[in-house]
Amino acid sequence: MKVLFFVEPHALRDGFSEFGSALLHMLPLARALQDREGCEARLYCNGALGDAVLKIGPEFWPLVLLPDASERRALTESAIPWGREGEALWEGLMTDPDAPPARLQRQMLLRLKREVFDYDAVVLWGGNAAVATVAEEHALPRLHLELASFRPPFPHALLIDPAGVNGGATTARTGIEAIARRMRPLPARALCDLMVRSGAVLPPPAPPRGPGAPPVALLPLQLSDDANLLFHSDLPSMGAFLEAAATPLLAAGWRVEIKPHPGAAIRGGEVWEAQERCLAAWTGTPGVTLLPEAMPAADMLARARAADLVVSNNSSVAFEAMLLGTRAVVLGRACFAPYGALPGLEETIARHTDAEWSAYWDRRARLAATWLLASAFVPAGAAAGALYDWLSAGTPPADAFAGLEARAWRAWPGAEALRAATLIGLGTEGAV
């Protein structure tokens, strides 16, 4: 088996080093597969990231494949500062195989396969129309990687999916009723205990709110150029999200806490300015608290656990809330929100004090979280083995339950006990 790890070589997002983080995740995976008997792995990246590989360790260098002279020239000529024009080109690369960046990368992939490394599987970070097209043309298995939907102090894990990431993942297209036929939900305490056993330091449950105190909703913002907004939401701006979420909450007497995205200042430019404009529009609004942009992770988790509700436009803070037992609503299509797993916002505002209603949706959210941890979110240390198992089985089907019994709870602490507690024989009826 020959596996190509494809690290985006373009400079459409402010330079040739933008995908350095993806490189750091993929390089050890390529090395681990290369060390397996019967498996060869190579990693394709641009020259700037190739230099980074040498600094990381020269022992990785034999894995690296670089653009040829004509490809380097084309990549340099297509480099563009990140702005609306660059964003449009990047959107084309993600979604349109006939867009100029996708056509260029398709040519690169075909040259590699024909002249350099006749790969029979591709691993990529995120989405890419060129990779999808070449994989489909040659009937190659491909696996998409992304960070799992939680951040430190939760454990480091990856989403591995045969169809895509974010709202394009198989998990986002799967219904909670289908999941219930295959798994039982872990209790809320067990989900938290699993995270703690995996190294997370979680805040204690918040004390009950005093009599007459209004309920609190936490609204985390996304970056304006995030694929989660651009491709997987009908509210493709922070302003539209806050109008859809904060306005009805305030009208119903809720307090609203808006959390700016900490990455906006790092990205700068239009991304930072878009967030600043959004925050300015809500500054001074009665019932609204604007939280600090930079906040320790522990403080942010404490806010999420103390809130009565987290509403997100696909932000992973909503999945962290699900793990902590806080109600979550997602106004978009997210990899961590299977169809029917979470209630809508209007229904939540109207019925959040109804104990029977709350128990019904709590169970659904716990079932979704259980299934995602068991099958889609793989601890980073086990990711290479999971990749190998997927790829050696042939073209991974776009079926979220394929091989579930064999791969459930891979490398999570107490895996065997978790399997016994949660797996139902395929075809056995469950209930949500």
Structural domain contains residue 16: yes
Clarify whether residues 196 and 345 are in a common domain: yes
The mean pLDDT value of the chain amounts to 92
Clarify whether residues 370 and 240 are in a common domain: yes
Clarify whether residues 226 and 272 are in a common domain: yes
The answer, yes or no, to whether residue 175 has pLDDT greater than 90, is yes
Structural domain contains residue 197: yes
Clarify whether residues 218 and 300 are in a common domain: yes
Clarify whether residues 124 and 193 are in a common domain: no
pLDDT digits (tens, 9 = 90+) for 310-367: 999 999 999 999 999 999 999 999 999 999 999 999 999 999 999 999 999 999 999 9
Structural domain contains residue 419: no
Clarify whether residues 120 and 194 are in a common domain: no
**Global pTM value:** 0.94
Reference 169, options 13, 365, 396; nearest CA is 396
pLDDT score recorded for residue 407: 76
pLDDT classification of 410: cutoffs 50, 70, 90: confident
Q: Residue 226: which CATH number? A: 3.40.50
CA dist., res. 269 & res. 15, Å (int):
14
Domain termination residue (choose one: 89, 122, 140): 140
pLDDT score recorded for residue 426: 44
pLDDT score recorded for residue 154: 95
- Concatenating the DSSP letter of every residue in 126-158 gives S--HHHHHHHHHTT--EEEEEE-S--TTSPPEE
Clarify whether residues 238 and 370 are in a common domain: yes
CA dihedral 84, 90, 91, 97 (to 10 degrees): 140
Structural domain contains residue 412: no
Q: How far is CA 349 from CA 224, 245, 248, 352, in A?
A: 27, 10, 8, 6
* 40-49, 61-70, 73-82, 98-107: range with lowest mean pLDDT: 73-82
List the alpha helices (DSSP H) in 254-337.
263-267, 269-282, 297-306, 317-324
| Full residue range of the structural domain in which residue 122 is found | 2-140
The percent of residues in the chain predicted with pLDDT above 70, rounded, is 96
Mean pLDDT of 161-165: 91
Domain termination residue (choose one: 375, 401, 425): 375
| Buried b / exposed e along 117-130 (16+ C-beta atoms within 10 A) | eebebbbbbbbbbb
CB-CB contact of 64 with 41 (8 Å): no
CB-CB contact of 379 with 198 (8 Å): yes
Structural domain contains residue 403: no
pLDDT classification of 389: cutoffs 50, 70, 90: confident
Clarify whether residues 97 and 191 are in a common domain: no
- Separation of first and last alpha carbons in the chain: 41
pLDDT digits (tens, 9 = 90+) for 340-349: 999 999 999 9
Clarify whether residues 255 and 112 are in a common domain: no
User: For the chain, what is the domain count?
Assistant: 2
Clarify whether residues 183 and 276 are in a common domain: yes
100 dihedral zone (left: phi>0; alpha: psi -120 to 50; beta): alpha
* 225-229, 353-357, 405-409: range with lowest mean pLDDT: 405-409
Structural domain contains residue 416: no
CA dist., res. 125 & res. 248, Å (int):
37
pLDDT score recorded for residue 398: 56
Structural domain contains residue 387: no
Domain termination residue (choose one: 375, 390, 405): 375
Structural domain contains residue 395: no
Clarify whether residues 181 and 62 are in a common domain: no
Clarify whether residues 238 and 368 are in a common domain: yes
